[in-house]
A and B are shown apart, each in its own frame.
Chain A
Amino acid sequence: MEVGRAYTRVDAADKVTGRARYTDDLHDGPMLVAKILHSTIANGWVKSIDTAAARALPGVVKVLTCFDAPQIQYPTPGHPWSTDPGHQDVADRLLLTRRVRIYGDDIAVVVAEDEVTARRALKLIRVEYESCPVMLEPEQAMEPGAVPIHEEHPDNILKRTETVVGQPDEALSDPALLHFEGHYQTQQVQHCHIENPISYAYMEHGRITVVTSTQIPHIVRRVIGQALGIGWGQIRVIKPYIGGGFGNKQEVLYEPLNAWLTTQVGGRCVKLDVSREETFQNTRSRHPIRFDIKAAVSSQGRIMARECVAISNQGGYASHGHAIVANAVNGFRQTYPDAVGHRSVAYTVYTNRPAPGAMRGYGIPQCDFAGECLMEDIAREMNWDPYQFRLKNIMPLGYVDPTNGITCYSTALARCMEKGRDFIRWDELRAKYQNQTGPVRRGVGMAVFSYKTGVYPISLETASARIVLNQDGTVQLQLGATEIGQGGDTVFCQMAAQAIGLPTERVNIVSTQDTDTAPFDTGAYASRQTYVTGKAIKKAGELFREKVLSYAREMLPQAGELDLRAGEIVDGGSGESLLTLEELAMEAFYSLEHSVHITAEVTNHCKENTFAFGCCFAEVEVDIPVGKVKVLRIVNVHDSGRLINPKLAEAQVHGGMSMGIGYALSEEMKFDPATGRLLNGNLLDYKLPTAMDHPELTALFVEDEDPSGPFGNKALGEPPAIPVAPAIRNAVLHATGVAVNTLPLSPQRLVEEFRKGGLI
Chain B
Amino acid sequence: MMEILRCTVNGRPVEVGIDQRESLADVLRERLGLTSVKKGCEVGECGACTVLVDGTAIDSCIYLGVWAQGKTILTVEGLQNENGELSPIQQAFVEEAAVQCGFCTPGIIMSAVEIVGSGKRYTREELRKLISGHLCRCTGYQNILNAVERAVNEAHKFVGREEQEQ
Contacts and interface: CB of A to CB of B under 8 A. Distances in A.
Given A651-B143, A692-B128, A243 B86 contact: no
**Which of B77, B95, B99 is most buried by chain A, counting CB atoms within 10 A of its CB?**
B99
Interface in A80-121: 116
A244 B103 contact: yes
Interface residues of A, number: 56
B128 A654 contact: no
A648 B97 contact: yes
Interface string A1-22: 0000000110111111111111
A195 B101 contact: yes
Contacts of B21: 116
Contact of B142 (A17, A22, A697): A697
Interface stretch (A420-428, A497-505, A680-688): A680-688
Interface stretch (A372-380, A594-602, A655-663): A655-663
Given A9-B99, A17-B79, A21-B35, A243 B40 contact: yes
A691 B137 contact: no
Interface residues of B, number: 53
Contact of A243 (B45, B103, B131, B139): B103
A241 interface: yes
Interface stretch (B1-9, B104-112, B114-122): B104-112
Contacts of A691: 127-129, 131-132, 134, 141, 144-145
A194 B142 contact: no
Given A241-B102, A683-B46, A17 B80 contact: yes
Nearest to A682: B45
B99 A12 contact: yes
A576 to B, nearest CB: 36
Contacts of A16: 76, 86, 90, 93-94, 99, 102, 105-106, 109
A244 B100 CA distance: 8
Contacts of A275: 42
B143 A24 contact: no
Contact of A276 (B36, B45, B103, B134): B45
Given A116-B21, A655-B138, A658-B139, A244 B34 contact: no
Interface stretch (A139-147, A479-487, A605-613, A734-742): A479-487
Given A276-B42, A276-B45, A17 B76 contact: yes
Contacts of B94: 8-9, 12-13, 16
B53 interface: no
Nearest to B35: A25
B88 to A, nearest CB: 11
A451 B128 CA distance: 32
Interface string B20-41: 0100000001000011111111
Contact of A242 (B37, B101, B128): B101
A192 interface: yes
Contacts of A196: 40
B135 A484 contact: no
B11 interface: no
A554 interface: no
A244 B134 CA distance: 15
B16 interface: no
A647 interface: yes
A628 interface: no
Contacts of B36: 17-19
A682 B140 contact: no
Interface of A: 8-9, 11-22, 24-25, 116, 191-196, 241-244, 246, 275-276, 484-487, 647-648, 650-652, 654-659, 661, 682-684, 688, 690-692, 694, 696-697
23 contacts: A14-B102, A17-B79, A18-B77, A21-B35, A191-B137, A194-B40, A194-B137, A195-B103, A243-B103, A243-B104, A276-B40, A276-B45, A654-B142, A654-B143, A655-B137, A655-B138, A657-B140, A691-B127, A691-B129, A691-B141, A691-B144, A692-B132, A697-B140
10 closest cross-chain pairs (CB), A and B: A18-B36, A485-B101, A243-B103, A658-B140, A15-B102, A25-B35, A654-B140, A683-B45, A16-B90, A691-B141
Given A8-B95, A192-B135, A194-B38, 13 more contacts: A12-B93, A16-B102, A18-B34, A21-B35, A25-B35, A193-B101, A241-B102, A242-B101, A276-B41, A652-B100, A656-B140, A684-B45, A697-B142
